[in-house]
Chains A and B, each alone.
Chain A
Amino acid sequence: MIRVCLLSLLLLMLPPVAGAIDADAPIADEEQRLLYEDLIAEVRCLVCQNQTIGDSTAPLAADLRREIRGMVESGQSEGQIKDFLTERYGEFVLYRPRYTGSTAVLWIAPGALVLMGGVALWRVVRKRATLPVTSEEEDAMDA
Chain B
Amino acid sequence: MLRFAAPVIVFLLMLVVFWQGLGRDPSVVPSPLVGKPAPAFSMPRLGQAEQQLSNADLKGEVVLLNVWATWCSGCRQEHDTLLRIAAMNDVPIYGLNWKDDSALALNWLDQLGNPYRATGVDADGRVAIDWGVYGAPETFLIDAQGTVLHKHIAPLTLEIWQRDFVPRIAAARAAAP
Partners in one complex: yes
**Residue ranges of A at the interface with B (Cβ–Cβ < 8 Å):** 46-47, 49, 59-60, 63-64, 67, 86-90, 92
Chain B positions 121 through 158: 1 when the CB is less than 8 Å from some CB of chain A, otherwise 0 = 00011101111101100000000000000000000000
Q: How far apart are the CA atoms of A60 and B31 in the complex, in Å? A: 16
* CB < 8 Å A-B pair total: 39
A residues near B27, Cβ cutoff 8 Å:
49
Which residues 52-74 of B have a CB within 8 angstroms of A?
none
A63 touches B129 (CB 8 A): yes
Q: How far apart are the CA atoms of A50 and B164 in the complex, in Å? A: 29
Please indicate which of the listed interface residues B26, B124, B129, B131 has the most CB atoms of chain A within 10 Å of its own CB. B129
A residues near B131, Cβ cutoff 8 Å:
88
Q: How far apart are the CA atoms of A123 and B49 in the complex, in Å? A: 73
A88-B125 CB under 8 A given contacts A46-B134, A46-B135: no
A residues near B31, Cβ cutoff 8 Å:
90
Q: How far apart are the CA atoms of A59 and B122 in the complex, in Å? A: 14
A residues near B128, Cβ cutoff 8 Å:
63
Please indicate which of the listed interface residues A46, A63, A67, A88 has the most CB atoms of chain B within 10 Å of its own CB. A88
**Residue ranges of B at the interface with A (Cβ–Cβ < 8 Å):** 26-27, 29-33, 39, 99, 124-126, 128-132, 134-135
A89 touches B134 (CB 8 A): yes
Give which listed residue, A49, A59, A63, A89, contacts B132 with CB less than 8 A: A89
What is the distance, in angstroms, from A92's C-beta to the closest C-beta of chain B? 5
Give which listed residue, B29, B32, B126, B130, contacts A46 with CB less than 8 A: B29
Q: How far apart are the CA atoms of A87 and B132 in the complex, in Å? A: 8
Please indicate which of the listed interface residues B126, B128, B132, B134 has the most CB atoms of chain A within 10 Å of its own CB. B134
Q: How far apart are the CA atoms of A61 and B129 in the complex, in Å? A: 11
A89-B32 CB under 8 A given contacts A63-B125, A63-B129: yes
What is the distance, in angstroms, from B146's C-beta to the closest C-beta of chain A? 16
5 closest Cβ pairs, A-B complex: A46-B134, A88-B132, A63-B125, A90-B32, A89-B132
B residues near A49, Cβ cutoff 8 Å:
26-27
A90 touches B30 (CB 8 A): yes
Q: How far apart are the CA atoms of A31 and B56 in the complex, in Å? A: 40
Q: How far apart are the CA atoms of A138 and B130 in the complex, in Å? A: 72
Known: A46-B134, A49-B26, A90-B29. 8 other contacts (CB 8 A): A47-B134, A47-B135, A60-B134, A63-B125, A87-B32, A88-B33, A88-B131, A90-B132
What is the distance, in angstroms, from A94's C-beta to the closest C-beta of chain B? 12
A residues near B99, Cβ cutoff 8 Å:
59, 63
Q: How far apart are the CA atoms of A78 and B29 in the complex, in Å? A: 23
Give which listed residue, A67, A86, A90, A92, contacts B129 with CB less than 8 A: A67
